[in-house]
Amino acid sequence: MGSFEWVIITGSFFVSIALACVVIFKVLARQNQANTNARREALQKLNFRFTTKIDAEKSEQLNSILSIQKLHSHSKKSLASGVYRDHPVQILNLESIIFTGNAAVTVRQSVGIIPLNRSVPEMIITPRNVLHGLGELFGSKSVSFPTHPDFSRKYSVKGSKPELIEDFMTPQVLEFFEARPGIFWAVTKNTLLYFNSAKELFSFADIERFLKRGTRLASHLNKS
């Protein structure tokens, strides 16, 4: 086979790859648009106000709350605000970079933000994984609750004032967490922040379930 034929074959191959990429990008774009439309409709049913334009003042307020996550970089894609079960709630769609070992991974997730009506000790409540066990071997401290071993098995709790966290976490609140493993919870600046790691919410059922979990915990924390 001559060099001309090889040029033709190579060119055809790269054209095919380019066309395939264009098709894939178009499919992804259509899917993203469909998801965005589904989210808008769901939020409209819940009487939430949706925007993709977050002003500088609101962005700064959100950054202050998000700082407890210690994100290396993030981008706010949209914000929905409303009232659910008498609680003012914001749902922030966030794109952030998370470092896992030597790799940087971009994730998109929906973050719930609910202000609390009382002073609450700052804390981060994270679903346990292998890394938590390794960290504790090297001296990392987590607040433990001997009366609720299931909670301590499922979650790691950290904060600058562990004695206040121990006093604050009532059996009702601990049992709430025991029944809902897998969610990242944090309290900072008297605001509850929570999300399912790397999960965006689009459907009405998923968003409402998400709101129920957050507002139920907010009610427990406000009464603790």
- What are the C-alpha distances in Å from 103 to residues 11, 68, 75, 90? 34, 22, 19, 31
Going by the DSSP 8-state scheme, the letter that residue 1 receives in this structure is: -
Residue 8 has pLDDT above 70, yes or no: no
Residue 38 has pLDDT above 90, yes or no: no
* Candidate from 31-40, 52-61, 166-175 with smallest mean pLDDT: 31-40
Nearest alpha carbon to residue 221 among 141, 80, 114: 114
Q: What is the pLDDT of residues 104-161, one digit of tens each?
A: 788 899 999 999 999 999 999 999 864 544 445 444 578 989 999 889 888 999 999 9
Q: What is the pLDDT of residues 162-197, one digit of tens each?
A: 999 999 999 999 999 988 888 999 999 999 999 988
Helices 171-178, 204-223: crossing angle, 10 deg rounding: 160
Q: How many CB atoms lie within 10 A of CB 40?
A: 15
| pLDDT at res. 152 | 86
Q: Where are the alpha helices (DSSP H) in the chain?
A: 3-45, 56-66, 130-137, 149-154, 162-168, 171-178, 204-223
DSSP string of 168-206? H--HHHHHHHHTSTT-EEEEETTEEEEE-TT----SHHH
Q: How many CB atoms lie within 10 A of CB 43?
A: 20
| pLDDT at res. 138 | 45
Going by the DSSP 8-state scheme, the letter that residue 138 receives in this structure is: T
Q: What is the pLDDT of residues 80-101, one digit of tens each?
A: 999 999 999 999 999 988 776 6
pTM: 0.81
